Amino acid sequence: MTSAAFDVLGIGNAIVDVIARADDAFLGKHTLTKGSMMLIDEQRADALYAAMGPGIEVSGGSCGNTMAGVASFGGKGAYIGKVRNDQLGGVFGHDLKAIGVSFATAAATTGPATARCLISVTPDAQRTMSTYLGACTGLGPDDIDTALVGSAQVTYVEGYLWDAPEAKKAVLKAFDAAHAAGRKVSITLSDSFCVGRYRAEFRALIRDKVDILFGNESEITSLYEVDTFEKALEMTRKEARIAALTRSEKGSVVIKGSETHAVPAARVAKVVDTTGAGDLYAAGFLYGFTHGKPLAECARLGGIAAAEIISHVGARPEKALKDLM
């Protein structure tokens, strides 16, 4: 195995967030389930946007946030994801490249617009997300540069990609290319509803291909359809190679075979917005992993990154994470 040009290659849904304040009545009127991510079509997206308050636009996407975190630690990152050649696509690409993440996926020149995630922030600091996947549905196997995959120590993907059938094929192609090059592959379960949609496929993938699994308590208990974290942990131990499971204020647990590393959460003065905690945990963990750190230290770095992200609004780091290590 040659030395790697990149620490982490991320593959994800390339999404621009539109964030606006809302009250509970707004969620009720538009039948939105607080705290969840729901997929919506273009017509629904247009109607919901028209009803939302004034917003701010900021690059997002779970995996995009993770790659921003890897770069903020000083890691070398690359990203594959599909935007349209429109203004928001330009914004998404700019914001990744501006922090030093390599991003060369060709933008679609026809078809739906760049994906938007309409985010309603309620006074209790929760975020309710409605995602119009738009151009993301155009991501396919042809977008996977196998040489690029082979040049990254870890290829990391989001479970959300299963929502676009061609994107799933792209992931499988990337996983095979990574393994052929002697590299590792990693996936996040994304959210418990996503797990509900693709449970059997995710379990097979974890058994057969995944080297590093990320998930939180609700995702992993949903995956194995058990009622406690402890039961899920033992199921995971049987099926996954390495798993890093997050538990909010209880910190995280990393397992690898018979090893178990329980790492407490990093201290946070005030939790402002929990969005992106999982994305940034993965960033810290993968930065540590690709820099030869022991698993407990990887988990500690994940916790540091998650603590930074939940201390402010927005899912991309405001402080350089390398200064917080």
Residues that bind its own copies (CB under 8 A): 20, 49-50, 52-59, 68, 86-88, 91, 94-96, 98-99, 113, 314, 316
Of 87 and 260, CB closest to its own copies: 87
* Per-residue DSSP letter, 261: E
> What is the spatial distance between Cα 190 and Cα 195, in angstroms, rounded to a whole number?
8
Residue with tokens 């402002």: 272
Least Cβ distance, residue 75 to its own copies (angstroms) = 16
User: Does the CA dihedral 141-4-299-239 come out positive or negative?
Assistant: positive
Tell me which amino acid residue 106 is.
Answer: A
Query: Closest separation between CB of residue 58 and its own copies, Å?
Result: 5
Cβ at position 314, least distance to its own copies in Å: 8
Q: Which is nearer to its own copies, 76 or 316 (by Cβ)?
A: 316
- ∠ CA 96-102-105, nearest 5°, is 90
**Residue 210 CB, nearest approach to its own copies (Å):** 30
Cβ proximity to its own copies, 85 vs 146, nearer residue: 85
Nearer to its own copies, 55 or 140 (CB): 55
- Residues 6 or more apart in contact with residue 142 via CB below 8 angstroms: none
If the CB atoms of residues 77 and 150 are measured against its own copies, the closer one turns out to be 77
Phi, psi (deg, nearest 5) at residue 115: -65, 145
Scanning the structure block, which residue is given the tokens 């996954």? 240
In angstroms, give the least distance from the CB of 305 to its own copies.
Answer: 16
